[in-house]
Amino acid sequence: MDYEIGKTGISEREARENSLLYKAITAEAPSHASYYPGAEKIVIKLVYHPETKEILGVQMIGKEGVAKRIDVLATAITCRLTTDEITMLDLSYAPPFATVWDAVQIAAQKAE
């Protein structure tokens, strides 16, 4: 299989089954700078509380870079970060590994 798949926290289905108040968005972002060869699409589904904007869960799939990003979002859930706070994280940038605005930040911006 050529894809990396990751999940942390709860899914949209789990939020619904537990009668939690939530919103969910799906975002697409490149795995690294598009001008650097081999950039692949990452798809991120972000589940968050609509009022507090606290991250509840994330599902992600892509051909590269998913594990790095799932770790960031697992930490965000543990620390109870909001979508606003994730947008402001100072994440690493290097053309072969990430874009200036990382995929997790692009997803968080879409939630706003």
Question: Element (H or E) spanning 74, and its range?
Answer: helix 66-78
Q: What is the pLDDT of residues 50-68, one digit of tens each?
A: 999 999 999 999 999 999 9
Read off the pTM: 0.92
In 3D space, the residue among 50, 3, 58 whose CA is nearest the CA of residue 27 turns out to be 58
Q: Where do the DSSP E strands lie in 1-112? A: 4-9, 23-30, 41-48, 55-62
Q: Is it the case that residue 103 has pLDDT exceeding 80?
A: yes
Crossing angle (nearest 10°) for helices 66-78 and 103-111? 50
